[in-house]
C-alpha cells in the first residue's frame, strides 16, 4: 500500500501552495480590515485580476475539460488544491470554472451560458432549496407551467449562494406535479436575471451571504431547458454531489492552518512562568486535533480517489463531508480556546473561521442527511463494512 503523492501531484500541489502563499496570503490583513467594515474582503475586479495571474501560473479551470481550456484534473488533485485554498481565508478561488451541470447544455446554451461563465464574464447560481424544501429537496414547489413556446415560473428559492450577484440561475422547477420531483417531475431551467426574477440578500453569520430568488410570472423560453424535461432533480443531485468531497478538502486546509497557529501560540505564550504548550490540557487539544486532521485527510482523499476510479462516490463522499465538516468545527474551537481572549478578537482570523466553518455542517447536505445516506447504504447492503477493501 502506498500513501504517498506522485511526483506530478506533489509538483502541482506545491505550485498551488506557492501561488497562494505569495499572491493571496499577503492580502489577508486588508481583507480582515475590510470585512470588519462590512465590505467584501476581495472585490470582484481584484478576484478576476488574481485569477488571471494564476492562469499564467497554469491554474485555470481545475475541473474544466481541456477542450474548454481547462486542466481537467483528477479528483485527487482537485481535492489537494482545494485544501491549499483552505489555508487562506481570503475568498479566492481559481478561475475558468463553471457549474458541472452546465455541460449538459446544448451547443447554443453552451455559447450563451457555459463559455462566458468559464471566462468569468457571467456569474451563475444554482437554485433548488426553497423555504419549504431543503433537506427534503424532492418536495420543491416552484412551478413551471408550459404556455406556447414559453414556460411561466412562479415560486421562491432560498439560501442561494451568489444569488444576489448572479446574472443567471440554474433553477429546478416542478414541471409535472403528478410525479415526485425525484421521479421525473422536475426540470432545470437556465434563467437570465433580465427575464424578471429578483433577489433578496439574506444576512448570515458568515461573510457575504446567500439570497432568496423570487419568481413571479417569469417567462422562460422552452429552449432554455437544461438537459431533458424531467431531469431537473437528477441534475440537482449531480451539482450537489461535486461539493461533497471538495467542501471537506477545503475544511482540511482551514484546520491545518489553524492548528499551525495554535502550535506557534502554544510554543510562545507564557503563563505562570512557562509556555502554555507545557500544560497537558493544551497538549491534548493539539493531539486530538492532529489525529482528527489526519483521519479527515484519508477519508477525503479516499472519496476523491473513488471518483477517479469511476466508482459511485456517494458513500465515501458522505463520510468525508460528515467527518470533515465536524472535524474543522472541533479543531477551530480548540484553536480558539488555546488562543484565549486573543482567539475571540477580530485581530486574528480564528473567530472568522469559527463562523465560516459552521456552515459546512449545514449546506450541500446537513450532517443528518450524510448520516442518513451512510446508514441507508449499510442497511440496504449497498456498501460493506470495510469499504472497497472488504
Ligand atoms: C449559506 C448557505 C448557502 C447555501 N447555498 C445554496 C445554494 O447555492 N443552492 C441551493 O439550492 N441551496 C443552498 N443552500 C441550502 C442548503 O443546502 C440547505 O439549507 C440545507 O440543505 C438544509 O435545508 P434546510 O435549511 O431547509 O433545513 P431542513 O431541511 O429544514 O432541516 C432542519 C434540520 O432538520 C434536520 N433534518 C431534516 N430532515 C431530517 C431527517 N429526515 N432526519 C433527521 N434530521 C433531519 C436537518 O439535518 C436540520 O438539522 C445554502 C444554505 C446556506 C445556509
Quote the ligand 1 centre to 129 CA distance (angstroms): 8
* Nearest atom (ligand 1) to Cα of 172: 11
Q: Which residues approach ligand 1 with their CB closer than 6 A? A: 126-129, 134-136, 159-161, 204, 210, 359, 362-364, 366, 368-369, 372
The answer to whether residues 75 and 63 touch, using CB atoms and an 8 Å cutoff, is no
| Dist CA 162 CA 144 (whole Å) | 22
DSSP reduced 3-state for 175:
coil
- Cross-strand pairs, 127: 171
Alpha helices of 309-366 — where are they, by DSSP H? 314-338, 340-344, 350-358
The residue whose CB lies within 8 Å of the most ligand 1 atoms, and thus the one to mutate among 91, 100, 126, 129, is 129
Q: Which of 76, 75, 73 is nearest to 96 (CA)?
A: 73
Residue with CA at minimum distance from ligand 1 atom 43: 368
Quote the ligand 1 centre to 110 CA distance (angstroms): 30
Quote the ligand 1 centre to 187 CA distance (angstroms): 21
Residue with CA at minimum distance from ligand 1 atom 27: 134
The rounded average pLDDT for each run of 10 residues, N- to C-terminus, in the chain (390 residues) is 95 97 97 94 96 95 97 97 98 97 98 98 98 96 98 98 97 97 97 98 94 98 98 96 92 98 98 98 98 98 96 96 98 98 96 97 96 97 91
The residue whose CB lies within 8 Å of the most ligand 1 atoms, and thus the one to mutate among 362, 372, 373, 375, is 362
* Nearest atom (ligand 1) to Cα of 366: 47
| Dist CA 11 CA 274 (whole Å) | 41
Instruction: Output the CA–CA distances (angstroms, integers) from residue 325 to 184, 214, 334, 339, 389, in the order listed.
Output: 32, 30, 15, 22, 25
| Dist CA 296 CA 287 (whole Å) | 14
The H or E element spanning position 221 is strand 211-221
The burial of 147, by beta-carbon neighbours within 10 Å (0-12 exposed, 13-18 middle, 19 or more buried), is given as exposed
Quote the ligand 1 centre to 267 CA distance (angstroms): 40
The residue whose CB lies within 8 Å of the most ligand 1 atoms, and thus the one to mutate among 137, 363, 372, is 363
| Dist CA 129 CA 142 (whole Å) | 10
Residue with CA at minimum distance from ligand 1 atom 38: 135
Does the annotation mark 49 as catalytic? no
Give backbone dihedrals phi and psi of 184, rounded to 5 degrees, phi first.
Answer: 95, 5
What is this structure's pTM? Answer: 0.96
Quote the ligand 1 centre to 314 CA distance (angstroms): 18
Give me the catalytic one of 35, 156, 292, 364: 364
Question: DSSP secondary structure string, 240-262?
Answer: HHHHHHHHHHHHHHHHHHHHHHH
Provide Rg for the chain, Cα atoms: 22
Quote the ligand 1 centre to 369 CA distance (angstroms): 9
The H or E element spanning position 15 is helix 7-19
* Nearest atom (ligand 1) to Cα of 127: 11
Amino acid at each position: 500500500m502506498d500513501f504517498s503523492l506522485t511526483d506530478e501531484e506533489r509538483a502541482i500541489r506545491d505550485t498551488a501552495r506557492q501561488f497562494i502563499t505569495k499572491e493571496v496570503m499577503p492580502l489577508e490583513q486588508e481583507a480582515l480590515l475590510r470585512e470588519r467594515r462590512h465590505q467584501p474582503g476581495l472585490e470582484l475586479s481584484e478576484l478576476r485580476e488574481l485569477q488571471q495571474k494564476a492562469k499564467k501560473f497554469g491554474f485555470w479551470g481545475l475541473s474544466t475539460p481541456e477542450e474548454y481550456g481547462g486542466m481537467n484534473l483528477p479528483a485527487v488533485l482537485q481535492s489537494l488544491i482545494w485544501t491549499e485554498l483552505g489555508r487562506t481565508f481570503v475568498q479566492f478561488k481559481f478561475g475558468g470554472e463553471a457549474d458541472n451541470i452546465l455541460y449538459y447544455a446544448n451547443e447554443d446554451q453552451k455559447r450563451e451560458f457555459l463559455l462566458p461563465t468559464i471566462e468569468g464574464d457571467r456569474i451563475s447560481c444554482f437554485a433548488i432549496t426553497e423555504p419549504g424544501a431543503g433537506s427534503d429537496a424532492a418536495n420543491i414547489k416552484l412551478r413551471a407551467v408550459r404556455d406556447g413556446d414559453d414556460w411561466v415560473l412562479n415560486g421562491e428559492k432560498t439560501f442561494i449562494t451568489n444569488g444576489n450577484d448572479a446574472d443567471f440561475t440554474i433553477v429546478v422547477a416542478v414541471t409535472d406535479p403528478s410525479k415526485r420531483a425525484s421521479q421525473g417531475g422536475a426540470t432545470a431551467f437556465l434563467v437570465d436575471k433580465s427575464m424578471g426574477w429578483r433577489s433578496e440578500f439574506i444576512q448570515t453569520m458568515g461573510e457575504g451571504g446567500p439570497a432568496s430568488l423570487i419568481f413571479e410570472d417569469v417567462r422562460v423560453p422552452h429552449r432554455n431547458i437544461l438537459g431533458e424535461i424531467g431531469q431537473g432533480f437528477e441534475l440537482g443531485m449531480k451539482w450537489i454531489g461535486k461539493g461533497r468531497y471538495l467542501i471537506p478538502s477545503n475544511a482540511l486546509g482551514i484546520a491545518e492552518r489553524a492548528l499551525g497557529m495554535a502550535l506557534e501560540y502554544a510554543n510562545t505564550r507564557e503563563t505562570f512562568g512557562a509556555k502554555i504548550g507545557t500544560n497537558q490540557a493544551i497538549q491534548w487539544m493539539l493531539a486530538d486535533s492532529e489525529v482528527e486532521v489526519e483521519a479527515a485527510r484519508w477519508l477525503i482523499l479516499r472519496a476523491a480517489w473513488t471518483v477517479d476510479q469511476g466508482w459511485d462516490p456517494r458513500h465515501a463522499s458522505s463520510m468525508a463531508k460528515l467527518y470533515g465538516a465536524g472535524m474543522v468545527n472541533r479543531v477551530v474551537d480548540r484553536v480558539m480556546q488555546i488562543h484565549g481572549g486573543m482567539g475571540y478578537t477580530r485581530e486574528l482570523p480564528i473567530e472568522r473561521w469559527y463562523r465560516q466553518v459552521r456552515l459546512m455542517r449545514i449546506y450541500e447536505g446537513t450532517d443528518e442527511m450524510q448520516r442518513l445516506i451512510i446508514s441507508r447504504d449499510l442497511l440496504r447492503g449497498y456498501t460493506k463494512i470495510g469499504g472497497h477493501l472488504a
